[in-house]
Amino acid sequence: MADPPVDLAVARRWVGSDRTLLLELVGIFVGEAASRIAELRGALTSRDARELGRLAHSLKSSSGILGAQDLQGLCAALEEVVREKRLEAAPELLARLDAELARVVAFFRDSAWKDRLDGVQP
């Protein structure tokens, strides 16, 4: 079985003991996931490098806070590709990013993660 896409210890470090805040942040993240991917695809289709870079940068911040480290890494890689003007590498990266985001969203949609939260040391 693959490693979980989210390191809950990282998320706990951000919110401390504020469980409600973490649930709220996860809610925001999951709720925006679909439109994020759509925006990223739109920017790539219109070859708007600046917007693509900005969107990747933005998603990097929130995935970092929630402990979705692989997703954060893919966002950083996409940002890097845009900065180095290697847009030809972007579609493949974006496909991987899309798949990883789906894994993160699935992780948070399964309420089992909430039960594990209390056992996690920040």
List residues near another protein by CB under 8 A.
14-16, 18, 21, 24-25, 28-29, 32, 51, 54, 57-62, 64-66
* Short-list 73, 10, 61, CA closest to 32: 61
46 CB neighbour count, 10 Å cutoff: 10
Element (H, E) at 3: none
Q: How far is the CB of 54 from another protein (least distance, A)?
A: 6
Q: Name the residue nearer to another protein (CB basis): 39 or 98.
A: 39
| Amino acid code (one letter) for 68 | A
Q: Name the residue nearer to another protein (CB basis): 32 or 92.
A: 32
Q: How far is the CB of 66 from another protein (least distance, A)?
A: 7
Rounded to an integer, what is the distance from CA 1 to the centroid of its chain?
21
Q: How far is the CB of 108 from another protein (least distance, A)?
A: 12
Residue carrying the six token digits 């470090």:
13
